Amino acid sequence: MSIQVYWGSGSAFAWRVLLALEVKQLAYESKLIEFSKQEHKTAEFLRLNPRGKVPTLRDGDFVVYESIAILQYLDRKYPQVPLFGTRAEDTGLINQDVCEVLSYIEKPVSQMTRPLFSGELAGKESQVREAAAILHRELQQYDARLARCSWLRGDTLTAGDIVLYPFIPTLLRAAAKPVAGPLNLGFLPFGERYPHMARWSAAIEKLPGYARTYPPHWRQ
Ligand SMILES: N[C@@H](CCC(=O)N[C@@H](CS)C(=O)NCC(=O)O)C(=O)O
């Protein structure tokens, strides 16, 4: 098997790559890195990715890291089930969706979820609330878009959906932590607050192979 993907349980960035591989129905060898054992900082792994981060993908002799770069590589190399479109206009708009996630979603998700997951919330309540408010404004816009179509770009799943999706279960998992309760972050029940996003998330969760992408430690 020539494709090997190094990923970590719960890494939203790595989740994107697993979803892309499944959607494209590519065979791959799963290399699950254990952060607690510092497996991403071994000399062997740092030779693949000197930043010591996942996702990292090896395809034969070729190595690429950074989730978006990996998605772009996979789409050029394995164009069946295109994720970035085939027309220049579609590619432009799909990249616009991808860039919007990187610019407006990634940071507030991290600012909201890290204190909740780490249990080190004390003193960071305002940061969490402010990040949640930013995310609500963004999710309202996505929900309105998804009221009109199945996927972000119409009736076909594209890279924008794959890049955004992992942040949704991540933020819902953080919002469901008991420590988040007193903050009344307002994401739950998600289906009532954001019905179209909930339907869209459920559609991703029904994709063949989705179960292989689900963070193993979330099942415990
Ligand atoms: N911009 C990168 C982010 C990758 C990233 O931050 N990965 C995290 C896991 S979520 C990681 O490997 N962290 C380990 C570390 O920094 O030591 C991407 O899109 O791939």
| 32, 50, 77 - which closes a domain | 77
Q: HSE, CB side, 13 Å, CA atoms: give it for residue 23.
A: 24
What pLDDT is stored for residue 92 in this prediction? Answer: 98
Q: Which two tokens stand for residue 13?
A: 């960035």
Residue 219 placed within a domain: no
- Write down the residue that tokens 């009736």 correspond to: 155
Which domain, by its residues, includes 18? 3-77
- Write out pLDDT tens, residues 144-157: 999 999 999 999 99
Question: What is the CATH number for 135?
Answer: 1.20.1050.10
Residues 153 and 192 in one domain: yes
For residue range 2-17, list pLDDT tens digits in order. Answer: 899 999 999 999 999 9
Distance 76 CA to ligand 1 centre (A): 23
Residue among 5, 13, 34 whose CB has most ligand 1 atoms within 8 A, to mutate:
13
- What six digits make up the tokens of 78? 């394995």
Q: Is residue 164 part of a domain?
A: yes
Alpha-carbon span 16 to 174, nearest angstrom: 19
Check whether residue 47 and residue 95 sit in a common domain: no
DSSP secondary structure, the chain, as one string: --EEEEEETT-HHHHHHHHHHHHTT---EEEEE-GGGTGGGSHHHHHH-TT--S-EEEETTEEEESHHHHHHHHHHHS-SS-SS-SSHHHHHHHHHHHHHHHHHTHHHHHHHHHHHHHS--TT-HHHHHHHHHHHHHHHHHHHHHHTT-SBTTBSS--HHHHHHTTHHHHHHHHHTSGGGGGG-----SHHHH-HHHHHHHHHHHTSTTHHHHS-GGG--
Same structural domain, 30 and 128: no
Q: How far apart are CA 143 and CA 198, in angstroms?
A: 9
CATH number of the domain bearing residue 57:
3.40.30.10
Of 49, 77, 105, the residue that ends a domain is 77
Distance 154 CA to ligand 1 centre (A): 30
Look at the chain and report how many structural domains it folds into: 2
My answer on whether 131 and 32 are in the same domain is: no
Examine residue 65 and state whether it is found in any structural domain, yes or no: yes
For residue range 155-207, list pLDDT tens digits in order.
999 999 999 999 999 999 999 999 999 999 999 999 999 999 999 999 999 99
Residues 61 and 118 placed together within one structural domain of the fold: no
Q: Quick one: pLDDT band at residue 1, thresholds 50, 70, 90? A: low
**pTM: predicted TM-score of the whole model, two decimal places:** 0.98
Q: Which of 47, 77, 107 is the last residue of a domain?
A: 77
Report the C-alpha gap between 174 and 116 in whole angstroms. Answer: 6
For ligand 1, is residue 113 a contact (CB within 6 Å)?
A: no
Q: Report how far ligand 1's centroid is from the alpha carbon of 38 (Å).
A: 13
